[in-house]
Amino acid sequence: MRIFGYLFKHKLALSLVIACLIVQAFTDLELPLLTSQIVDVGIQQAGVEHVAVDEMSAQSFENILEMVPEDDRSLLQSSYAKTEEGNYRLTDEGKAHVGELDSLLAFPLAAIHDRYRPSEGSWPALIADYKEGALSREHLMELIDQARSEAESQGEDLVLQQGIAAARAEYEDLGYNMTDMQIGFLLRVGLMMLGFAALGMVMAIMASLVASRTGASIGFDLRNRLFSRVVSFGDKEINHFSAASLITRGTNDIQLIQNVSIMLMRMVLYAPILAVGGVVMVMVTNASMGWIIVVAIIAVFIIIMVVFKVVMPKFRIMQKLIDRVNLVAREALTGVAVIRAFGHEAYEEKRFDTASTELLSTQLFTNRVMTFLMPSLMLVMNCTSACIIWIGSQYVDFGMIQTGDLIAFITYSMVIIMGFLMLGMISIMLPRADVAAERVNQVIECEPVIQDPAESEVQSLPLREGLEIAFHDVSFSYDDSDEKILESVSFTAHPGETLAIIGSTGSGKTTLLKLIERFYDVSSGSITLNGVDVRDLPQKTLRSQFGYIPQKAFLFSGTIYSNVSYADPFMDEERVEKALSIAQALDFVNDREDGADSAIAQGGTNVSGGQRQRLSIARALASDAKAYLFDDSFSALDYKTDARLRQELDRNLAGATKIIVAQRIATIMGADQIVVLEDGRVVGCGTHEELLDSCEEYREIALSQLSAEELQGVGRDDA
């Protein structure tokens, strides 16, 4: 899965999280064991932990010594040393073998405290008879073996419990305060529980912190990579994905990946550690009831797989429906003025409601299925608990396990089931996150059609005063269409001259400008700058030569100054002011209270269309460009402002190449060269006067806008 690939890039963080989770799991698994000790040892056994008592009377020691097998006497004798008071105390060597001593002493200690009565008399009396010679060693050992076999037939655990009870009686006989012993044990184990709980809390916080930082880092990296890729896209890639889908992928999808990454590090890594640890502890506690957990785990997986099968297809649909909602909302917000003008508020509301309802229905379906999941899993868990208590209570009754062990077993069982439950929950979220990762990767891995040339093929642009832009038999069509947008277009724009392009709507005027800056590549022919093919230049080098004013004026949120100085954030005020002056924008800028520091809303919605267009022109003029491309950039200007602006362009940009796409004849009448397009073909090329005489299409456009007198020069002078 792609999402694991994101995580593996952060190996150090993963290692740190795993280390923290292992420690946390250790503390979580240790707490039920300590709880069991509190119940079994602290409460039931009054704080007596071992059959191997710390101290026993001389009589008890001597009697036990006679009852243990010959092979074990040396261990017993080396484990206890006689004190000045005549009693026997456990030595350091004995403490090192306390487990062996517990098994060794359980039966004889219980026997001498009258827990297992012999068939004749009592054990102390029988041992006394043996020492006095009234009873043979063989007969004594026969009685001991018979009693031991009967005791062990009831279970080793029961023998140990009887041994613990006898150890408690031994302490009481020696005058030990059992209340102090019990409280001391409870305090010691309680403090250990608090320590483990505190350590587990610290590890959980550290794991969460590292996981959260790693998840945020993954989201940050993906957003940067996705945005960098989108910025490199041409119009083809943007149109292929759609702006609404790209926004969804950069926000909703990446946020989902980030959240699931955190859950993976906290839950998916922790669940198997906890489950495996729980299985080990269950085997240690009581393996005979392990089949109950196996059945519960199988039931959990069956439920999860059924839910997975039902909701998985809906997750893929959901992401596409989110795209659709974003698309409809974006169109409605962008075109709100048009919607109001045509009175289509109800229609757009219905359109949005339809998209939103489809998303709602899908989300409700998945949420309902997920709502069914949790009660089902809780039912499995509760049934498992009831089954363990029912069977475990019989084991307790038979003396096979103690009450604390049963409590610990239930806790470990819930830990194991919860571990698999967490894996199941994340397994349902993972496919949706994988869908999101796939959508993000589609953008990141999408190579733009427009690529820089290989380093060995890069050509340098000849240094000249101006920039010569030449079209050589250029044809262009979109990849998904056989229709040619431009066909066999040839012309040359010389440095210091103004070349105008005019034609009917859809004739390919804007496409020409986009081809110059390589927003698209020509299908055939070539475009050269000072004799160098634009495809042989790096895109950054190519586009740095131009000041581009798009057909739809767009301003960024910020200030007038930040928009005009967009080409260079450190641009001096004098240069910004000059650009505003040439663009005929200085007057309205100075009229504002904050001048060039006045705020601009996103898209420039807080200024008029004409002001927005002039600020866009000023932004291009402030750049250090050798050629300026005006894509119908004078349409929102009145004739007077249009004329003044063109005069300032001629005066201040005398050495620059200027290409103007326009609909107004008055705007282009004074151009050095006018190219007339019709259905993507050049049908005329020359000056205004030449075209009036030689180009029928140009003459029709001109006469539709100006009178014959204006076309002969009067209108141009006025302009």
Q: Quick: pLDDT tens for 93-115.
A: 888 888 888 888 888 888 888 77
Nearest to 17 by CA among 265, 260, 202: 265
Both tokens assigned to 598: 């006045």
Give the angle subtended at the CA of 420 by the CAs of 414 and 422, to the nearest 5°.
Answer: 95
At 284, phi and psi to the nearest 5? Answer: -70, -40
Q: How many residues does the chain have?
A: 719
Q: State the residue for tokens 């996981």.
A: 211
- Cβ atoms of 317 and 444 within 8 Å: the answer is no
Residue 573: count of CB within 10 angstroms of its CB: 11
Q: What is the DSSP string of 564-577?
A: HTTT-TT--HHHHH
3-state SS of 196-219 is: HHHHHHHHHHHHHHHHHHHHHHHH
State which amino acid sits at residue 399: G
| H-run or E-run covering 127 | helix 123-132
Q: What's the mean pLDDT in 603-612? A: 86
Give the residue-averaged pLDDT of 618-624: 90
Q: Are strands 498-503 and 657-661 parallel, antiparallel or unpaired?
A: parallel
Most trustworthy range by pLDDT among 17-21, 103-107, 244-248: 17-21
- When pLDDT is averaged across residues 639-662 and rounded to a whole number, the result is 88
Longest dimension (CA), the chain: 153
d(CA 348, CA 336): 10
Q: What is the pLDDT of residues 409-435, one digit of tens each?
A: 787 777 777 777 777 667 667 777 888
How is 7-51 classified by DSSP, letter by letter?
Answer: HHT-HHHHHHHHHHHHHHHHHHHHHHHHHHHIIIIIIISTT---S
Instruction: Write the DSSP string, 278-290.
Output: HHHHHHHHHGGGH
| Angle between helix 403-444 and 11-37 (nearest 10) | 160
Residue written as token pair 């800028």: 589
pLDDT band at 719 (very low <50, low <70, confident <90, very high): very low
The mean pLDDT of 164-168, rounded to a whole number, is 87
For 174-206, the pLDDT digits (tens) are 888 888 888 988 999 999 999 999 999 999 999
Q: Is the pLDDT of residue 676 over 90?
A: yes
What gap in Å lies between CA 540 and CA 230, rounded to an integer? 16
Question: What pTM value is reported for the model?
Answer: 0.69
pLDDT tens for residues 111-151? 888 777 777 777 788 888 778 877 788 887 888 888 888 87
pLDDT at 245 over 50: yes
Of the candidate CATH numbers 3.40.50.300, 3.40.640.10, 3.30.460.10, 3.40.630.30, the domain formed by 550-624 belongs to 3.40.50.300
CATH 1.20.1560.10 at 7-15+233-444, yes or no? yes
The vertex-125 CA angle with 124 and 127, nearest 5°, equals 65
What are the extents of the domains in the chain?
Answer: 7-15+233-444, 58-173, 550-624
pLDDT, tens digit, 9 for 90 and up, residues 431-475: 778 888 888 998 998 888 888 888 767 787 887 777 899 999 999
Tokens of 10: 């952060």
Residue 498 to residue 672: CA distance in whole angstroms: 5
- DSSP label at residue 115: S
pLDDT digits (tens, 9 = 90+) for 208-219: 999 999 999 999
pLDDT value for 494: 92
Helix ranges restricted to H, 335-398: 336-341, 345-397
Span 46-50, average pLDDT? 85
pLDDT digits (tens, 9 = 90+) for 346-381: 888 888 898 889 888 888 888 787 777 778 878 887
DSSP-based three-state secondary structure for 162? helix
- Give mean pLDDT, residues 269-289: 76
714 has a pLDDT exceeding 60: no
For residue 678, what is the enclosing H or E element?
strand 673-678
Ordered DSSP codes for 638-652: -HHHHHHHHHHHHHH
What's the average model confidence in pLDDT over 382-392? Answer: 83
Examine the pLDDT at 261 and tell me if it is beyond 70: yes
pLDDT at 401 over 80: no
pLDDT one-digit tens code per residue, 680-710: 899 999 998 889 888 998 888 888 887 777 6
Evaluate whether 7-15+233-444 and 550-624 have a shared fold.
no
How do residues 491-509 score in pLDDT, each as one tens digit?
999 998 999 999 888 888 8
